[in-house]
A and B are shown apart, each in its own frame.
Chain A
Amino acid sequence: MVLQDIEYTMQVLNKVESEIEKVIIGQKGVIRKVLIAIFCGGNVLLEGLPGVGKTHLVKSIAKVLDLKFSRIQFTPDLMPSDIVGTNIISKDKDGSLNFTFQKGPIFANIILADEINRATPKTQSALLEAMQEKTVTVMGQTYKLDEPFFVLATQNPLEQEGTYPLPEAQQDRFLFKIEVPLPGFDEMIRIVNLTVESQMLEPQKVIEGKEILNIGRIVRQVPIAKPVLEYATRLVLSTQPHIEENDIARKYLKFGAGPRALQHLILGAKANALFEGRPNVAFDDIKSLAKSVLCHRIGLNFEAISEGLTQSDVVDIILQRQKEW
């Protein structure tokens, strides 16, 4: 890596972001976080109401990054083989019958697992294995997934009847859980203008899939100062209710975030720094990603629920209390 690479990376990231922002209106924060997850090699759990642009966002990213996109609509009757693929009997030229592996939709670079909580835990776990190992195993045969590989799962906060909420252990494997907010008044008008009245804009390819891996390597080299690292660590640890000093965690949380949360937080902060045009991690990077990293990794207790608090509220309180240095 040379100096030009760093500057180039920062330029590319900005360019990618700008390109996606052209077609996804009013979701700047969401776009940034999704891109961070992609460049960090992580997976994202998107949570938002239907019609806020989740699928469109994923499609746009796939196009800008020149990645193969695949969408899986999760339903209760969806089977693991429907995701990873299956061996089918096929007749060759000789007329003999053989088992041939038919790849499922998971064999793509970007997977949109739509409404992942509607599938059974068995189907969910099939996807989660792929997320973690970047491989799938069918009939004892292991198949490596294409690089880069990202899963963008979505959850609908409404219609929770007949769903299978993801267990905490599985949620922990997602780098971020991003809440996709409803666009504001101005954004709504812009969306309408952009999509209804005129012809829809198509995002342009900015980089190739292979470059994502290079950028990922550069992201990991971004230096982080000791006080910043310590701040992030204190932040993660302060979600642990078993530590006596953590009044808030003890009061509102059943369980807190673990080491993986810290890893993801630091990695995400490094990528965020590059998006900001900085070659180093700042306190602000940690703060901006803390909620997305921590919210799905902490469990509220009865007191928090009875007080009407959400994970996001608790993380907010912890952030306010945590001193930088």
Chain B
Amino acid sequence: MHESEMQILGFLKKVQRRQILCSFLSRLWQCVSASLSFVILVEALSKIVPMYYKSFYQIFILLLSLSVYTIFIISKKPALEHSALIVDSFGLKERLTTSLELIGVDTEISRYVKQTTAQMIKDIDIKKLIKPKFEKSKWMFMALLFFVFIILSNVHSPKMDEAKRLHLLSSLKKKEILKIEKQKKEVLKSYKLNEVEKRKIDEVLLKLKKEIKLAKTKSEIELTKQKAWFLLNDLKNSPTSSQFYSAVEKLKNFVAHDNKSNQSDTKNSLANTNTKSNNKSGGSSSSSNGQSIAQKSENNKSSSAFSKGESTQDVGSSLTASNDQGQVQQEQVQSSSAEANGTSNDSGSGASTNTVQNASGQSAGGGMQGESKGMTRVDNLDGRSGGLGAAIPRTSNKVQMPSIYTKNLLSLDASKKVLADTGQESGRVSQKQGIGERGQKLSFDRVFSQYKQEANEYIEADEVPSWAKEITKRYFENLENMR
């Protein structure tokens, strides 16, 4: 190939690249406008439907449209002949087009054409010749769309808060399920269990996972774990091998401990979410979702739910203690109330005071008569639920407690429960069927009044140790006053 031919081809390739660039810039407004339209659509949809990954979708749309546009422009790159004609239209009188066609032709006149053309193109500045077309009105249209997007994105949407909450919940569920799987593997690996035992554990954990998946709120997850705790407790109490006992105990501890740690983790994140949303809405939408009030209550309370070293007795432990030691009329109840509630569990001799802040929010009813030497106060930080033994915030006003679940929901048959002798004055444990059917939702007032009445009857019948009579009375009085 002659030098002049190479010069011509090189020049035309430069022109071609310049054309692609100019074409890209000239039509960029179309791409940006189209993608902005979709972005605005996503933004608008996010105001109607909870869409946690809104920003991701928007960025994806922008990048996708830009990529498609770039590919389109590159695929539509002009042919060299076209580039030659473009340059020719600036006064070269088809010289370049003719030269391009004469590449490879070796006649006198073709050489002359190519040589003269090569000389001519030396002085041509492509950048001055081929410029991108910027149409002001079109770019203004694009700017308008961008402005609309900015305005729309600054409009606060409760759905976005909802989306964030759902996302956190989903993450929590996944995390929980993974932990359960991991723990299960660990337990099965550590303990030699027979098939029946394995199956029993499997059933419980499967149920736990299933219910976690179905949970619609964080509290429901906690509730599910509470259920699992009780189920595992039941397994432990059945005649089993020591290996199985240990395995179940480990799982119980895991469920209880995990419950506690999750509480603090997720509480913070959800509290943050709520704080943000409250700030955005100027505090006017404090009850934008079901958890707002409860979380607000949590925020008001001590944030170090489990930080107190001496009271790290978890829910499970607390309950175990009650069951094992106290002469308890055990009515484990759960509350679906959105309000925080708490109560003091005065079951000890008063020698010391242990404060247990029940992060699970669904503490079972505390023992009315316990052997604990310390006075245990249980604070329900979650506020989503509460039983008679659940904590009531000391600072709370009288609040309405619409309904609670009976303990029977937890698959434990209370009527058949045999509680251990506490070794106290009476040394007798009495047990009574709780009100309501298994899993039935009952009003707090009904449960409370029933329990109070029962307690009074026992006190009057001298079935409560004398030292505990006053405590029991005060317990119910306090509960009533706190409402």
Interface residues of A (CB under 8 A from B): 1-3, 5-7, 218, 221-228, 276, 278-284, 325
B445 CB within 8 Å of chain A: no
| Cβ B108 vs Cβ A223 within 8 A | no
Instruction: Please give the number of chain B residues whose Cβ is less than 8 angstroms from any Cβ of chain A in the complex.
Output: 21
| Cβ B109 vs Cβ A227 within 8 A | no
| Cβ A325 vs Cβ B85 within 8 A | yes
| Cβ A278 vs Cβ B108 within 8 A | no
Kindly specify which of B93-101, B134-142, B328-336, B464-472 makes contact with the partner chain. Answer: B93-101
Residue of A nearest to B108 (CB): A1
B481 CB within 8 Å of chain A: no
A184 to B95, CA, bound (A): 35
Task: Write out the residue numbers on chain B whose beta carbons fall within 8 Å of the beta carbon of A218.
Answer: 109
Kindly identify which residue among B94, B102, B108 contacts A2, using a CB–CB cutoff of 8 Å: B108
B107 CB within 8 Å of chain A: yes
| Cβ B95 vs Cβ A280 within 8 A | yes
Kindly provide the distance from the CB of A276 to the nearest chain B CB, expressed in whole angstroms. 8
Task: Write out the residue numbers on chain A whose beta carbons fall within 8 Å of the beta carbon of B97.
Answer: 225-228
Interface 1/0s, chain B 82-111, versus A by CB < 8 A?
000100100001110111111001011111
Interface residues of B (CB under 8 A from A): 81, 85, 88, 93-95, 97-102, 105, 107-113, 116
| Cβ B108 vs Cβ A227 within 8 A | no
Q: Tell me whether chain A's interface is mostly helix, strand or loop, or mixed.
A: mixed
A1 to B113, CA, bound (A): 14
Task: Write out the residue numbers on chain A whose beta carbons fall within 8 Å of the beta carbon of B105.
Answer: 223
A7 to B112, CA, bound (A): 9
Contacts known (A223-B101, A325-B85); A283 close to B108, Cβ less than 8 A: no
Kindly identify which residue among B88, B100, B109 contacts A279, using a CB–CB cutoff of 8 Å: B109
Q: Given contacts A1-B108, A224-B98, A226-B101, could you give 12 more A-B pairs where the C-beta distance is less than 8 Å? A: A5-B108, A6-B109, A6-B112, A221-B109, A223-B102, A227-B94, A228-B94, A228-B98, A278-B93, A279-B109, A280-B98, A280-B99
| Cβ B85 vs Cβ A227 within 8 A | yes
From B93, B105, B110, residue with most partner A Cβ within 10 Å: B93
| Cβ B93 vs Cβ A280 within 8 A | yes
Kindly provide the distance from the CB of B386 to the nearest chain A CB, expressed in whole angstroms. 84
A sample of 24 inter-chain contacts (CB < 8 A) reads: A1-B109, A2-B108, A3-B108, A3-B111, A6-B108, A218-B109, A221-B109, A223-B98, A223-B102, A223-B113, A225-B97, A225-B98, A225-B101, A226-B81, A226-B97, A227-B81, A227-B94, A228-B98, A276-B93, A279-B109, A279-B113, A280-B113, A282-B93, A282-B95
